Amino acid sequence: MDEYSNVFETLLERAEEYTKTSIELYKLKTIDKVSEVLSATLSRAIACFFFLCFFLMGSVGLALWLGEILGKSWYGFFAVATFYGLIGVVLYFLLHNWLKKTFGNNIIEELLN
């Protein structure tokens, strides 16, 4: 009987060690995945920020230039705003589902890699 109890105790100890190791492995994998997703998101956010700054300055420059051509500076701003509004409407109605699917797939792919 002692032989069986020793085997059983050894088995329980190994199962406990296996459980602890598995939990630790899942923690490390989760930390790795979260840090990977956050670093990718942060780097893209920084790139988008600088692109938006460039885009904003270009838009202001274009609006001022168009305003000079049209005679009043606010005409240029209205022209640029109308252009961006039209592009936004077209993108929303034509590409909304495609953009939603693309971004969703990118997020899922990033999480599963």
Confidence at residue 58, expressed as pLDDT on a 0 to 100 scale: 96
Q: What string of pLDDT tens digits covers the 113 residues of the chain? A: 667 778 888 888 999 999 999 999 999 998 888 888 888 889 889 999 999 999 999 999 999 999 999 999 899 999 999 999 999 998 888 888 888 888 888 878 777 77
Query: Can you list the positions of beta strands (E) in 1-113?
Result: none
The domain total for the chain is 1
- CB-based burial of residue 37 (10 Å sphere; 0-12 exposed, 13-18 middle, 19+ buried)? middle
pLDDT at position 14 is 92
For residue 90, give its domain range: 2-112
pLDDT, position 107: 78
